[in-house]
Structure 1
Amino acid sequence: MLSAAAVALRAGARRTVRRLPGKTRAIPVAASLRRQRPFSTSATRKTDLTTRGMIVQTLSSVGSKREVQQYLSLFTSVSSQRFAVIKVGGAILTDYLDELCSSLAFLYTVGLYPVIVHGAGPQLNSLLEQAGVEPQFEEGIRVTDVKTLRVARDLFMRENLKLVNKLEEKGVHAQPLTIGMFRAEYLNKEKWGLVGKVTGVNKQAIETAISNGYLPILTSMAETDDGQILNVNADVAAAELARALEPLKVVYLSEKGGLFDAAGQKISAINLDEEFDHLMSQEWVKYGTRLKIKEIKELLDTLPRATSVAIIHPGDLQKELFTDSGAGTLIRRGSKLLSATSLSEFEDLDALKSVLVRDREGPDAKETVDKYLEYLNENDFKAYYDGDMNALAIVLPAKDGRQATLATLTITKSGWLTNVADNIFTVLKKEHPSLVWTVKEDDENLGWFFDKADGSITRDGDVMFWYGIDNGDEIMRLMKDFTLNGRAMLGDSNLESRLHRAAKTGSKPFAQQTRSYSTLARRPVVSAPAFGLNTGRGYVTQTNPNPPIGKKNASKEGPARVALIGARGYTGQELVRLLDSHPNMDLRHVSSRELAGQKLEGYNKSEVIYESLSPDDVRDMEKRGDIDCWVMALPNGVCKPFVEAVYEGRKGSNHKSVIVDLSADYRFDNSWTYGLPELVQRNNIADATQIANPGCYATAAQLGIAPLVEHLGGMPHIFGVSGYSGAGTKPSPKNDVDNLTNNLIPYSLTGHIHEREVSSQLGAQVAFIPHVAVWFRGIHHTISIPLKQSMTSRDIRQIYQDRYAGEKLVKVVGEAPLVKNISGKHGVEIGGFEVDKTGKRVVVCATIDNLLKGAATQCLQNMNLALGYAEYEGIPIM
């Protein structure tokens, strides 16, 4: 049996972390499908090969195999009608019918049967206008007279049939259920006319449809006991349907794809028990947002705690249902939390012991917990838990130079099911500005921890994570202690190790207290708060223990030695900052003629003084084997003498360093390796000794076009806008803020070097029109791409998701990405995917920080690969 903490890790997470129930082992997809109820003989579809193909497609486009397996297991653990109720608005049927039906076809293929109820409000407004009837609303409810009802009834029948027929085209058996599904009485006949208040749901008809292999498709029309048809709001119908079926999920499909906060950012998740009152007090929660949250709370208060509501775009339905991160806004009840700062505050100490023991293994588990409680009785701590003790977190506060430590996090199956863990971590974030914890390097959910941390470092099978530590010196101290002491430090200061040892020997486990970065729970899990957190992965430090001989000389101990030629510019400064936190590279020399003799700022590992290195100096250093990697951060057309000096120094020497050139001088030289790891074979970069680092515009443009090269029906046109840091530090009109204010400067309108670079690398001619704007850093591309055959937006987005699955520095998003969201980040965001009416032209948008992934970060990727380290070593992942 898995421990609760191990189960918790298997459960997955989202940005504010949704969780599956604990203590359910992940099972193969095929096995999960076999455990579903058998299909009725009336269902004629074939499920074996189709199912396999659809699952493979989903695994590569929306989430990991683990995620899909677990969610399939969860959704098939209840009767079919209790999987999900999905409310489809009229606008979705008009604008997103194909995307909706593709998503429903996937669910149907894997044996999941959502209950669909749809409206047709926008269509009804249009028809009434054509008929000369002016729609009337009272308190937001449509006043329905006989003429309006007649138009609405006919419209609902047509829209229902349209949806059913479209599903049948995709191989989905769907059954229209338009009459007799909702019993109702008049809401207020005098005020609203023929508008109904639902009093009952015909569950039997729904269950019969599903048992016969059909998706039930309902309209939001109801009947009175005497047969009068009444109009019912589709949201109201969906809520009453949910109350009757008690599904795991209630899904409201929305063109916007979720709820948004005051800053216009999509809200990932809301835990109502903890956040409802706070939300209702916020000025930005008003009008439709306020009403929607209030209505959903009223609905969830009447449903089991396992039920959650999702507001999602139809194109993201699979991602919302089958991935930890989700895609829209998830709303759940959550749970109220209690806290304690002393053992006496716990009502039942035996219950606390039982909670702590349930995650322990071995015969001395109780003794270990007793020692732990002795420690807590004598030291400061704060515990967070729910009333039923389904979740418990214990934090040891910052003290004596030690960062606050998450020492315990244990969650039961019920705790995960009711999302108590999310609430706990929301509180942790509020009360503990910084926190440190460790997990095992081989943990199957290690990537999830990277998502929740601001930084991390790996040593001897353990990973230390942290968030909220902004002081560079403190981060360096944490990393240094962890790296140098490794397991020894985790031995003497590891809470669990000392408790275990003390339980066996009877000694005091904390006689020589030092900083503790560990957790009592074997696999602690934490999550991000529901609002306002912009988390990113930490510093990935998984190092190749056997670097290639001849690059990083395996006979030499210590980090790779780096020389930076041209460190004055913005890119050089960013690279210095990255090298400062890299555990396996040392910056030994920086060359700048203007700054010679001055101290290099921003590098804290050692004191480095600017030099004015000549090509002769470079030749002699290479000949002596002083440097493992030369980085040329010089303007175009300047670095050739230094590169040739390295060539000269290699003659007659066994040493052969790596050269990474950031200029455009060697990007068209076939003897150099083009260093764009996401599009170039990484083995080629790993084997290279001379690497041409791609341009910033060119990197974003290539990543934005590459997945569609085989589908091109003409020349892509790239409208690119860069911040003025791309113009360098030398004064010019393109980096003059006064000149740029209220302005946009086009330049090099044809024949820009990046136009040639992109065309050369993609093997397809592109047009590139660059501009410079008043912001400092970041590039936005709007790329118009002609297609040789008609494609849908969803098809194209899936191509991109497939192509970049597993790429840690490429993020495929739904909406067009924004420059302000990529500034300071180390990857590329690609989105938009707007297709014109012909289906033969798509507009794709891409953003990149020109100084990071556009230059310094990509340089470090190439250095890592060529020097034998893990590609993302020292890079904070997106």
Structure 2
Amino acid sequence: MIVRRGGLRLTRSVRSAVYRGASCHVAYRPRMTTGLNGDLRQSARYNSTRSTVIQLLNNIGSKREVEQYLRYFTSVDSQQFAVIKVGGAIITQNLNELASSLAFLNHVGLFPIVLHGTGPQINEILEAEGVIPDYIDGIRITDSKTMSVVRRCFLEQNLKLVDALEKQGVRARPITGGVFTAEYLDREKYQLVGKITKVDNTPIEASIQAGALPILTSLAETSDGQILNVNADVAAGELARVIQPLKIVYLNEKGGLIHGETGEKISVINLDEEYDGLMKQPWVKYGTKLKIKEIRDLLMHLPRSSSVAIISTGDLQKELFTDSGAGTMIRRGYKLLTRERLDQFESLDAFKMALIEDPFFAGSAHLVDSYVDSLNDATFKVYADEPFEAVAVVKESVGDIPILDKFVVSKDGWQNNVADNVWSAVQSDRKCLQWTVPEDSERASWFFDRADGSFVKNGRILFWYGIESADTITNIIKDFSNSVTQTASSRIQPHQPRLYSTLARPNIGRTLNNQGTCRYYSSSTKSARVALIGARGYTGQNLISLINSHPYLEIAHVSSRELAGKDVEGYTRSAVKYENLLVDDVARLEKEGGVDMWVMALPNGVCKPFVNGIADVGGNGAIVDLSADYRFDDTWTYGLPELNDRSVIANSKTVANPGCYATGSQLAIAPLLPYLSGQPTIFGVSGYSGAGTKPSPKNDVNVLSDNLIPYALTDHIHEAEVATQLGTNVSFIPHVGQWFQGITLTISIPLQKHLSSKDVRSIYEERYDGEPLIQVAQDIPLVKDIAGKHGVVIGGFGVHSSQPRVVVVATIDNLLKGAATQCLQNINLMLGYDELAGIVLN
């Protein structure tokens, strides 16, 4: 299920898993013990937990999946992680495996609520006593004799599971009453069978607060104390309605629902599509019919994205921690649609908005428009669910094998098995198919599971299914090989710097995000000489400090008319004095080849003569300009690495460093560009260092004390800068506050359709996945926490209750990522260094 409630609440026994690099460190708060033996037990528990998590990372899924789901599960109160319904047969046949799986979850800090049945045990006792179990519509008729057996079996099985968990080192608490209040379902028809009227989760919360897994039976009581039998599937559903957990899991011995005619396990049931037809099937009867009906009734009371998984005990970890899941997934879903012409779409914009998530388009609406227009000249068929969480485009090929041209799935689409629904529709419609996927795709394993064969070349994988002819397979491999060879050749440019090296810095590594951008690495270790023109201000001082700790850069010249002749403070690698360099001096130094990188740290409108002087002598020096003079010049490269093509920056000689407000604003708005319905409004407040060192009311601490000063209420240059780079108008209202350093931006963004806060945050997490200087936070970031740090924090994600509008908050240090840090990123890219060389992450 995909239901979130509140923030992470740590109880005294909750542990959190923290992963760094390829290794795993698990930090947790163990139960307090005393003495040497207690310390040893605590250490052993730590090592056991650590080994368990590493085993999960190595065996059941990718590290990305496990990290993603652990963050996901620990984002809510402990009692809202999962409701797990355990069939009675599981306790008899798979008790140790069940206890081990539940212990595993507890070791990584999770507290599932376990509710078990005891049907097979009851039947065994009744049959031994010569009583034939009797059911109506899947519900056990429970007379007084049967009730005595039911109660005894529930208590025995509950204790058995609790004991098994305690042997695994996990505290567990039996809860055999006090949770469910009921009235008679139909006393004449079913006798002592209850209909739950109230769920009291107080005993459950108390158990979790005490650090114990709650183990429930489905027994209920009337208001006057009469015990009533309730079907465990029904009780699990009622419990889930109240708890609204992230996951609802039914464990059974078959590992899912089995089709009564084919004998095969059903992987997905899309209730909106299949419920009516499924309930008419002759094999859907008794407990199976009741289970499906109860699950449907439950899901009708939960968000549409909710789901129920019916799996085996052995698949519990796979279901919870991987995208592929296991067993049978039941969800309301949406009805699937197919389209064979563009004019058949009710909303072509919705189709385009789904396609823009494809990394191939890199978020470009223009590329998406071109692709959709090209479909007018093609024979194609689109398969999708109604909200376009998963979209497949199949094209007819010149040969006999159709091509899956696009398969685009949102994050929720993967987590909720919408991808499986759409894939099943494609597979039932197409007896054979071919498609390609990047070799480093996070979803490659998913496609491997659905293919009959594959072939890898030049970083791409060719997949196919349903092709029986060896000659046909040979032909598609030949065509694929030719196409990827030509594509690879067309990408090779002479002297093109590499986007990464195998000698990546620890804990960062090569990163490719879903927009096709990546962290930039290079193997260059050649030293380079930097000259700073106009380095008197705060930004210049911060840049000098960064260069001082850079492994390969050295300062050759620092120019400041006011400080000429004084020692450059903050630079300790050699003795450097401030100079008063004129345009002719700069041109001479460039001509002599004494400078590899020029940094213009001058006020707006001042640096052009210096730039022209460098250009006139035809030298090899590169330039980064910190002013706004060239941010609107198409002949210069705009240097915002997280949003612009890093390879373009790397191959540029002249780079315009973005403004501080503009950097934070663009990073905070860019992920939602495909969803915009209007003009974002940016309310920005900067510390007074942003007003520079020249005295003015905006940096006068006496004026600013207990004050907030708005300025440049319209037409601020950063407003034009953001609008130009994002391709959409924005409103920007800047202010200066009474702190020294750091910017906070509160941005109201109108959307084309309503998105949940979770949806919005997921969009940002995907967009900035692998960007070490961008942090996506659930809470509202505070400006006091960003001062002195190199990155940007984006969070809040407040969604309006009735309007399709979200408010996003971003914080950035105006002197670092807003100026000096970003300048050093650009210098590193242009000179072929690791992008973060000299930037110590904090």
Match of 2:150 in 1: 152
Please state if 1:102 is matched with 2:93: no
1:467 Cα deviation from its structure 2 partner: 2.2
Distance 2:355 2:62 in 1: 31
Task: Flag the 1:448–1:185 CA change in 2: closer, same or farther, 3 A.
Answer: same
Match of 1:517 in 2: none
Q: Is the 8 A contact 2:308 2:329 kept in 1?
A: yes
Distance 1:364 1:182 in 2: 50
Counterparts in 2 of 1:51-450, with a 5 A limit? 51-128=49-126, 135-261=133-259, 262-280=261-279, 282=281, 284-286=283-285, 288-359=287-358, 365-398=364-397, 400-401=398-399, 403-450=401-448
Question: Among 448, 455, 458, which residue is 1:457 paired with?
Answer: 455
Distance 2:121 2:348 in 1: 62
Counterparts in 2 of 1:602-617, with a 5 A limit? none
- Segments of structure 1 that go 5 or more residues without pairing to the other structure are 1-24, 495-520, 524-878
Q: Deviations over 1:828-856 (max 9, x none)?
A: xxxxxxxxxxxxxxxxxxxxxxxxxxxxx
Distance 1:297 1:74 in 2: 25
Match of 1:865 in 2: none
Counterparts in 2 of 1:746-825, with a 5 A limit? none
Q: Is the 8 A contact 1:335 1:419 kept in 2?
A: no
Task: Flag the 1:394–1:123 CA change in 2: closer, same or farther, 3 A.
Answer: closer
Distance 2:270 2:63 in 1: 27
Distance 2:279 2:447 in 1: 32
Alignment TM-score, normalising by the size of structure 1: 0.49
1:224 Cα deviation from its structure 2 partner: 1.3
Task: Flag the 1:317–1:489 CA change in 2: closer, same or farther, 3 A.
Answer: closer
Q: Is the 8 A contact 1:116 1:218 kept in 2?
A: yes
- Letter paired with 1:480: K
Distance 1:370 1:413 in 2: 23
Distance 1:138 1:280 in 2: 16
Distance 2:25 2:237 in 1: 29
SS at match of 2:257: coil
Q: Is the 8 A contact 2:336 2:386 kept in 1?
A: yes
Which one has the largest radius of gyration?
A: 2
SS at match of 2:120: helix
Q: Deviations over 1:208-249 (max 9, x none)?
A: 211221100111111112222212122221121122222233
Q: Is the 8 A contact 1:32 1:72 kept in 2?
A: no
SS at match of 2:308: strand
Q: Deviations over 1:336-364 (max 9, x none)?
A: 12232232233334444443334457899
Distance 1:86 1:363 in 2: 40
Counterparts in 2 of 1:532-681, with a 5 A limit? none
Task: Flag the 1:473–1:117 CA change in 2: closer, same or farther, 3 A.
Answer: same
Distance 1:309 1:42 in 2: 39
1:150 Cα deviation from its structure 2 partner: 3.7
Distance 1:431 1:136 in 2: 43
Match of 1:755 in 2: none
Q: Is the 8 A contact 1:33 1:111 kept in 2?
A: no
Question: Among 462, 465, 482, which residue is 2:480 paired with?
Answer: 482
- Letter paired with 2:392: A
Q: Is the 8 A contact 2:173 2:213 kept in 1?
A: yes
Match of 1:872 in 2: none
Distance 2:336 2:489 in 1: 33
Q: Deviations over 1:60-112 (max 9, x none)?
A: 55445444334333333333222221222333223322221111111111111
SS at match of 1:194: coil
Distance 2:136 2:369 in 1: 64
Distance 2:319 2:107 in 1: 17
Identity among equivalent pairs (%): 53
Task: Flag the 1:301–1:479 CA change in 2: closer, same or farther, 3 A.
Answer: same
Q: Deviations over 1:633-660 (max 9, x none)?
A: xxxxxxxxxxxxxxxxxxxxxxxxxxxx
SS at match of 1:479: helix
Q: CA RMSD in A?
A: 3.5
Match of 2:471 in 1: 473
1:375 Cα deviation from its structure 2 partner: 1.3
Distance 1:350 1:138 in 2: 50
Alignment TM-score, normalising by the size of structure 2: 0.50
- Letter paired with 1:295: E
Q: Deviations over 1:399-456 (max 9, x none)?
A: x337422222222233334432222111111223332222222334433332222222
Using the TM superposition, name which of 419-428 and 89-98 deviates more: 89-98
SS at match of 1:331: strand
Match of 2:579 in 1: none
Q: Deviations over 1:496-531 (max 9, x none)?
A: xxxxxxxxxxxxxxxxxxxxxxxxx989xxxxxxxx
- Letter paired with 2:445: G
SS at match of 1:216: strand
The structure, 1 or 2, with the larger RCO (C-alpha pairs under 8 Å, 6+ apart) is 1
Q: Deviations over 1:14-45 (max 9, x none)?
A: xxxxxxxxxxx9987988966x9x77879998
Distance 1:315 1:411 in 2: 28
- Letter paired with 1:365: S
SS at match of 2:427: helix
Task: Flag the 1:474–1:232 CA change in 2: closer, same or farther, 3 A.
Answer: same
Q: Deviations over 1:538-570 (max 9, x none)?
A: xxxxxxxxxxxxxxxxxxxxxxxxxxxxxxxxx
Task: Flag the 1:336–1:477 CA change in 2: closer, same or farther, 3 A.
Answer: same
Q: Is the 8 A contact 1:164 1:176 kept in 2?
A: yes
Q: Is the 8 A contact 2:458 2:488 kept in 1?
A: no
Q: Is the 8 A contact 1:259 1:329 kept in 2?
A: yes
Distance 1:155 1:51 in 2: 33
Q: Deviations over 1:146-179 (max 9, x none)?
A: 3443443344223322221221121111111112
1:136 Cα deviation from its structure 2 partner: 4.4
SS at match of 1:429: helix
- Letter paired with 2:268: A
Q: Is the 8 A contact 2:138 2:286 kept in 1?
A: no
- Letter paired with 2:301: T
SS at match of 2:387: coil
Distance 1:304 1:91 in 2: 31
Distance 1:124 1:42 in 2: 41
Task: Flag the 1:115–1:373 CA change in 2: closer, same or farther, 3 A.
Answer: same
